[in-house]
Amino acid sequence: MRELKSLELRGPRAREAAKRVLSVLVAVATSSVLNLDDLSWAAFSGYMVMRGSVAETFERGLMRIVGTAGGALLGLLLAPGTANDPLLLMVFLFIVSWIGIFQSLTTNYGYAWLFFGLTAGMVTTEALASPDAVVHFAATRVAEIAVGTCISLFVASLYSDRAGRGEQHAHDVLWYARLHDILNENWLREHWLLLEHCTRAALAVALLPLIWRWFGIEDFSQTAITSYVIMIVPSTAVGNRRYATIYERIAHRALGCLLGSAVALVSIGLFGTGLPVTVLTLAVGVWVGYQIQTGREINYLGTQFTLGLLVTLVQGPAPITDITPGLERFVGIAIGSAMLCMTTCVWPLVQDK
């Protein structure tokens, strides 16, 4: 309620929110014209890539596209082998998740590495669900990300640019891919908590195929995404043992998705699925979500509120006929979060000091 009371109707914060609204709407419209399968990924990119200046937006967008393309290519190369071998799939998920999380927390190109690991895991799990459609899935995902990113850059260029203040990276440059650093005892001692953190997260992702088979789950992506993304926390938080950040992200991801999907479902129930109503709901929801994201207390909840709204309302060029995508996202988040909790029960986190 405090965040909602702090919403601004004018000023820099309101203008930045309006830029995200425009980017999302244009990305969805462009993806519809191109007849892409899942418009929500284009909408995600149009929302998440945007930054305060064209230079910052371009850098972030380039990393998102390169990371996605690289992960898709690796996933396509290994998908034929992992599709019929659950053990090999688990090993691959562990490796790409570990690399993606570690590099996300330790390099200046962390955003690219995040999407490298994320997309590689998504492509291989898609091969498990639909082996014949994996190439189409990978190509479409890259196209959706590219469309949303380009639209975000286009919208950013429409506004007067300002000198980028230098985005504060939520990580330190700790590793430069030098083998002797890894074998150095002092380096290992200094970064042991970070290595443990990445291993725990990768293990949570790698064990998901067992859960999928046990419960007969067919929508794999959201469970893997949750277990992977939640562990992307500032490396300083890991080093200082501030693991409450992880639990907070779990709660904010679940609640944000639930609230965003609920708003979308209420809008559908009250006003139907007509184009004007859908566009208005998207605009208001993105505008509010971004302001909460840039607030003081529940930033990540604001991000997940917007994404939950988008995945429910933005499904394809035709009117909405199925409300399950938002529900599937929430269930996937719940399962992925549960897997993380199970992993931490077996391998407990060091308590805050």
Cα–Cα distance between 212 and 120 in angstroms, integer? Answer: 18
d(C-alpha 21, C-alpha 182), whole Å:
44
H or E element, residue 314: none
Q: 86-106 vs 221-229: helix axis angle to the nearest 10?
A: 40
Residue 169: other Cβ atoms inside 10 A:
14
What gap in Å lies between CA 105 and CA 194, rounded to an integer?
9
Q: What is the pLDDT along the chain (353 residues), one digit of tens a residue?
A: 888 888 888 888 899 999 999 999 999 999 989 888 778 889 999 999 988 888 899 999 999 999 999 999 999 998 888 877 888 888 998 999 899 888 888 888 889 998 998 899 888 888 777 778 888 889 998 999 999 999 999 999 988 655 444 444 444 444 444 445 555 667 677 777 788 888 888 888 888 777 766 666 555 555 556 556 666 665 555 555 566 777 888 888 888 888 988 898 888 888 887 888 889 999 999 999 999 998 888 888 999 899 889 888 887 655 565 666 666 667 777 777 777 777 777 777 665 44
Q: Please list the alpha-helical segments (H only) found in 37-191.
A: 39-48, 54-82, 86-106, 110-129, 134-158, 179-182, 185-190
Residues 106, 169: Cα–Cα separation, whole Å: 10
Distance CA 291, CA 289 (A): 5
CA distances from 280 to 35, 76, 283, 291, 313 (A): 22, 38, 5, 17, 11
Tell me the Ramachandran region of residue 35: left when phi exceeds 0, alpha when psi lies from -120 to 50, beta otherwise: left
